[in-house]
Amino acid sequence: MYRAQQYCRSRTLFIHYAIVLVLTRYCSAFCSLEPVLRPSRWISNRSKSLTLLNTIAWTPRPSKTSPRLSMAVGKTGGKLIETVEEYTSIVLEMESQKPVMVFFTAPWCGPCRLSIPVVKDVMKQFAGQIEVVEVCTDDLPEVASDAGVVSIPTIQMYAKDELLDTIVGCVAKSVLAASVEKVLEETLSRYGASDSRS
């Protein structure tokens, strides 16, 4: 009985050390290990691995001081909007003469994940005719509230800083493509051929 208990303890210690070793090697690129002061009650003679695990804290490494890239790409392949100023200049002040499709999404949203391939396909189908941008509502909640987004996924179509169409929820490719065609025709009739089809 005693030998069985010793075997179980040594096996448990081995497993704990193996876990620490794997975590240390795997996370060393992303995290740094810093000792954390713990009360002496955490120190136990019967399990050195618990002491080791309890005295290690995973903290993110400090970010490098390099400037952020201005052309971040979202999951759809469109430009990822990272600031309110970017949203204002691209969507509302219309840097581009093409209509802009704004895809409001969040990483935790299941229907948003289902909409990503649909937006990618429509972006490929209308390449050169529309601009596609992506807004994470978790990062920019003020942009979403100013745009009137109350649920996600929401896709809005803008032309010349004017909201022309809004689609809420997960939709089929044909529905989104029809909406884009309608916006392109409306843009063509309002602003002329040189602006929307260039």
Catalytic residues: 109, 112
DSSP 71-109: --B-TTSSEEE-SHHHHIIIIIS-SSSS-EEEEEE-TT-
Cα dihedral 21, 22, 26, 32 sign: negative
Which of 40, 50, 45 lies closest to 19, judged by CA?
A: 50
Query: To 5 degrees, how large is the angle CA 110–CA 140–CA 30?
Result: 75
d(CA 198, CA 144): 29
Q: 């996600």: which residue's tokens? A: 152
